[in-house]
Amino acid sequence: MEDPATAFLAGGHGPDAGAPAHSLRHAPGPYFGSYGGRWMPESLIAALDELEDTFEKAKADPEFLAEVAELNKNYSGRPSLLTEAKRFSEHAGGARIFLKREDLNHTGSHKINNVLGQALLAKRMGKTRIIAETGAGQHGVASATAAALLGLECVVYMGAEDCRRQALNVARMQLLGATVVPVTNGSQTLKDAINDALRDWVANVDTTHYVLGTVSGAHPFPAMVRFFHEVIGAEAREQILEQLGRLPDALCACIGGGSNAIGLFHSFLDDASVKIYGFEAGGDGVDTGRHAATITLGRPGVLHGARSYLMQDEDGQTIESHSISAGLDYPGVGPEHAYLHDVGRVTYEPITDVEAMDAFRLLSQTEGIIPAIESSHALAGAIKVGKRLTEGVATPSDIVIIVNLSGRGDKDVETAAEWFGLLDENGHVKGTTLSTRRAKGAAPAAGADENAEDATHE
């Protein structure tokens, strides 16, 4: 087939290519309905103007688009596959489920699409340094990767709590040459990492570009980050047409800030027959107060530069979000999603930690694909949607659903092992024997006897 990434960047499925003004695909910002905008300190407005100007020119520059296409193809490995999940589908009412394999991209998630584009823009602006925020570490790793590739200095802000939870990703970033700054303010998670990245940006804006990792923030970030991710949907649309000769009945994606979701959705927004679902992190349950279901339960407000739905208390103070997935653990959401919710084009629903982890295990054991916990929210949603759409349908396999498998689960193995009870009280994987550990050269620890005893209980 024709390389859809190239076709997309050549304008075949470009964001404004042929999209009439009344189309939902015509969404250049700064506003999406009443959402979006620039709720930012004046000090940063000039940098946002410069970025917007650079982006608009780059978008229309064949040389830039060719550069992005080349990196997408020969560095990230695009186009990513569209894989039918036949055994998994049996658990979704028999609907046919296709996985858009963003997990196969270099660095293991969709994040690289945006980061490469923004790093190229940084170079165009003559900036020598990029900064980024990260929650689970995926965007930080992608940013560190792009910085190494393009010869940029890279500083990543990461909540101290997240640094502890995702120590391996901290090491990955450092191995790639980036500096990781643990953020000890506030809740020590993603929103506080964004706060500190913004503080850095204000002070260093002459040399520094802030590579925001999702479709939130001040204009042009929501429209720009979406642009670099639209390749996901452009490819998926072409691939499903090639494989089945028809459009899907539904799309499913997980929503934190919402970048992988908007990337998949955008090419289908004008296809009225395609139902679109975004799945937010329901955490312990939306009635527990411990969740990140921003659209489901939030109210419009401004945070980090955009007006959108927001988890906030009666005073407008941001409420800390909770999710087993660090990548969805954010109390805001991209403004375009807020708009698509209000106009009813996309349906947003919460998925609990339990539902997501069940789907995590199911995909692993039916398809041999370990998904990111973030993406597992989309998979759990697809099971629900599949059952719903096949109800009363004579031939359930007529129902086709595309799920954005936005990332792979390697980073989540420790969390999942703990969740499924694979670890003993010392955090060691049950069933690994004492002799194995010794053979690996581990010092015989004081707890060695206990381990041996555990092993005999297995």
Q: How far is the CB of 196 from another protein (least distance, A)?
A: 9
Here's the x/- map for another protein, 194-233, by CB under 8 A: it reads as -x--xx--xxxxx---------------------------
Give the range of 44-52, 62-70, 130-138, 264-272 binding another protein by CB under 8 A: 44-52
Q: Distance between CA 145 and CA 176 in Å, rounded?
A: 6
Please identify which residue in 18, 23, 34, 49 interacts with another protein, judged by CB under 8 A: 49
Tokens encoding 438 = 């010794």
Residue owning tokens 């934190």 = 256
Nearer to another protein, 41 or 289 (CB): 41
| CA dihedral for 401, 6, 408, 406, sign (positive or negative) | negative
| Whether the Cβ atoms of residue 214 and residue 259 lie closer than 8 Å to each other | yes
- Residue by residue, DSSP assigns 56-80 as HHHHT-HHHHHHHHHHIIIII-PSP
Selected from 23, 34, 43, 207, the binder of another protein by CB under 8 A is 43
**Pick 298 or 407: Cβ nearer another protein:** 298
State the Cα–Cα distance between residues 437 and 458, nearest whole angstrom: 16
CB atoms within 10 A of CB 24: 18
Examine residue 395 and tell whether it contacts another protein (CB under 8 A): no
Under DSSP, the state recorded for 153 is: E
Q: Which is it for strands 96-101 and 82-84: parallel, antiparallel or unpaired?
A: antiparallel
Query: Token pair for residue 156?
Result: 């990543």
Q: Is 364 exposed, middle or buried (0-12, 13-18, 19+ CB in 10 A)?
A: middle
Q: Should residue 186 be labelled a site residue for another protein when binding is judged by CB under 8 A?
A: yes
Q: Measured in whole angstroms, how far is the alpha carbon of residue 431 from the centre of its chain? A: 34
List the interface residues with another protein, window 300-339 (CB under 8 A). Answer: 301-304, 310, 312, 314-318
In sequence order, the 6+-apart residues with CB closer than 8 A to the CB of 295 are 255, 278, 280, 309, 333, 337, 338, 341, 348
Q: Given candidates 41, 126, 289, 444, which one binds another protein under the rule CB under 8 A?
A: 41
Residues of this chain, 12-31, that bind another protein according to CB under 8 A: 30
- Taking the least distance from each CB to another protein, the nearer of 176 and 310 is 310
Catalytic residues: 111, 133, 406
47 contributes a contact to another protein by CB under 8 A: yes
Q: Which of 4, 14, 37, 282 binds another protein (CB under 8 A)?
A: 37
Selected range binding another protein among 8-16, 79-87, 299-307, 343-351, rule: CB under 8 A: 299-307
- Is residue 39 close enough to count as binding another protein by CB under 8 A? yes
Sketch the per residue contact string, 254 through 293, with another protein: x for CB under 8 A, - otherwise. Answer: ----------------------------------------
Stretch of residues binding another protein (CB under 8 A), selected from 53-61, 157-165, 298-306, 425-433 = 298-306
Phi-psi region of 258 (alpha: psi -120 to 50; beta: other; left: phi over 0): left
For another protein, the closer CB: 206 or 453: 206
Lay out the site mask for another protein across 128-167 (x = CB under 8 A, - = otherwise): ----------------------------------------
User: Cα angle at 215 between 376 and 182, to 5 degrees?
Assistant: 80
Q: How far is CA 76 from CA 35, 67, 110, 145, 179, in A?
A: 32, 13, 10, 11, 23
Binding site for another protein (CB under 8 A): 30, 37-47, 49, 185-186, 191-192, 195, 198-199, 202-206, 299, 301-304, 310, 312, 314-318
